[in-house]
Amino acid sequence: MRATDVRLRLPQRFNLVSAILWGLRIVVVVLVLAGAWATLSSGKLSPDTWRDLVVFGIAQGSVYALIALGYTLVYGVLFMINFAHGDVFMTGAMTAFFVARNFDESGFLNANPIVALLILFAVSMLTSMVVAIALERIAYRPLRRAPRLVPLITAIGASLFISNSVRGIYGEQDQAYPTINALQGRFDIFGIPILKTQAVVIVAAVVFMVGLVYFVERTRTGRAMRAVSEDKDVAALMGINVDRIIVTTFAIGGALAGAAGILYALVFNEVDWFMGFLPGIKAFTAAVLGGIGNIAGAMLGGLTLGVLESVGPFLLLGGAGVPSPNQLRDVIAFTVLVLVLIFRPNGILGQSEPGS
């Protein structure tokens, strides 16, 4: 019988959860500031090194951005996370490797680098596209109306299946992409040295992204895609073949991932059956960072994450005397992922999500 219960209330609701969340915020901020200050004040790294790191970050970020576009497109129409997208990226890169090796052995690669590269792009994009479409057809379409966890679990299973199948088919070992002589060396752009490969990567990524934006904004199919992502049922009523649009979305996402595969090979050189996991998660981080469902967001997120990951270990840890900062590169990416999802799931540019 508590007629006039006086409830003891603190001005701000204090509970365990808030305490932990605030603790998390404080720890992160302190670590970042302390590490950055330590590094910058020790002056261990020269401005040139920073510059190179940033350039590398942009190149790496371009790869992430292209993969992130695949996540964001699929999320836009199906509101599901295509966990297997990283492995779609991997199949393209791995398959194109054999073509590349063949070209290298026959000398075609260095004789006609541009044509060879275009063919490699085509092979990789085609393979990834096929895998993405198969994925949609076999694993996702039957589950469209299932509770949300079900397609996610399926995606995880598909990811395992695809990566290990490739392991069985193509073999376990890392494969090194052959070097293209024409792409050795640097350009000097406004006094900033950029590796030729990096330049190609950045330019190619920009071209693809512009192409995608044009496609989505200006073509009929692109409009249909936007309609489906707004409201599937209404779009169907308007006469849009929703199934076909969804397949198209997967196909485009897959193609972009395949392109990213070649770019990855240009930047990092090595490909193997497990290479889809980390870039996949990082690209997803990029997509969420920029705002999932938002194409510009995916690009922005990709570049941001790429630079953060490149500069971060040295900025935050190197100066403070932490050994082997590069090992912790991935921690930075995962930390960004975790922090974004916990504190700002809408990302930088906001989110296209139906009201809860």
Partner 1 sequence: MQDLLNAPRLRRLAAFGAVGGVAALYLAMVGLVEAFKDRNVITGVVTLGAVMLLAVPLIAGYRAAIVPRDVTEGWTRSGLQRAVNGFVAGLIAGGMLGLLVFVGRAVDLRGVLISISPDLLDFLSFGLPRAGAAVAIAVVGGAVGTLGALLLISPPRIRAVITTGLLAVILISLSEPFIRPRLEQLDYTAISDFLYQAHGLTVPAAIAAFVAGIVGSALWAPARARVRQTVEAAPPERRRSIRNWTIVAALIGVLILPQVSGTFFAQVLVLIGLYLLLALGLNIVVGYAGLLDLGYVAFFAVGAYLTALLTSPDSSLGIGLPFFVALPIVMLGAGATGLLIGAPVLRLRGDYLAIVTLGFGEIARILFESEALRPWLGGVQGILGIPNPFPARIDLDIGVAHLVASGPQVLYYPILAFCMLAAFAANRLANSRVGRAWNAMREDESVAEATGVSTVNYKLLAFSLGATTGCLSGALFAVQLQSVFPGSFDVLVSITVLAVIILGGMGSIPGVVVGAIVLIGLPQLLREFAEYRLLVYGGVLVAMMLLRPEGLIPNRSRQRELHDAMDDEEEAEPPQPELAAQRGSA
Partner 2 sequence: MIEEIDQPAAPKPGPEPDPVDQPAVLLKVERLTKRFEGLTANRDIDFEIPRYAIVSIIGPNGAGKTTFFNQLTGLTRPTSGTIEFDGTSVVGMAPHEVAELGIARTYQNIRLFSDMTVLANVMVGRHVRMKVQWYEAILGLPKVAREEEEVRVRSLELLALVGLRRRYEDELAKNLPYGDQRRLELARALASDPKLLLLDEPTAGMNPGETRQMTDLIARLRKELRLTILLIEHDMKVVMGVSERITVLDYGERIAEGSPEEIRTNPRVIEAYLGKQATA
- For partner 1, the binding residues (CB under 8 A) are 15-17, 20-21, 24, 80-81, 98, 101, 139, 142-154, 156-165, 167-171, 281, 284, 317, 322-325, 327-328, 330-331, 334-335, 337-338, 341-342, 345
Minimum CB distance to partner 1, residue 145 (Å): 5
- Residue 68 contact among partner 1, partner 2, none, beta carbon within 5 to 8 Å by kind: none
Which is nearest to 86 in space by CA: 290, 262, 258? Answer: 258
User: Could you give the string, one character per residue 7-46, with x where binding to partner 2 holds by CB under 8 A and - elsewhere?
Assistant: x-----x---------------------------------
- SS3 of residue 176 by DSSP: strand
Considering only CA atoms, give the Rg of the chain.
23
b/e code 201-212 from CB counts within 10 Å (16+ = b): bbebbeebbeeb
Q: Is 4 in the site for partner 2 (CB under 8 A)?
A: yes
CA–CA separation, 94 and 169 (whole Å): 11
Nearer to partner 2 by C-beta: 4 or 173? 4
- Residue 37 contact among partner 2, partner 1, none, beta carbon within 5 to 8 Å by kind: none
Nearer to partner 1 by C-beta: 197 or 285? 285
Which is nearest to 244 in space by CA: 256, 235, 257? Answer: 235
CA–CA separation, 172 and 157 (whole Å): 20
- Residue 317 contact among partner 1, partner 2, none, beta carbon within 5 to 8 Å by kind: partner 1
Q: Is 149 in the site for partner 2 (CB under 8 A)?
A: no
Return the DSSP state at 187.
E
- Residue 13 contact among partner 1, partner 2, none, beta carbon within 5 to 8 Å by kind: partner 2
Which is nearest to 293 in space by CA: 70, 136, 61? Answer: 70
Nearer to partner 2 by C-beta: 8 or 114? 8
- SS3 of residue 186 by DSSP: strand
Nearer to partner 2 by C-beta: 2 or 220? 2
Nearer to partner 2 by C-beta: 4 or 41? 4
CA–CA separation, 15 and 174 (whole Å): 50
- SS3 of residue 293 by DSSP: coil
Scanning 3-11, 41-49, 250-258, 288-296 for contacts with partner 2 by CB under 8 A, the matching segment is: 3-11
CB atoms within 10 A of CB 330: 14
List residues binding partner 2 (CB under 8 A): 1-5, 7, 13
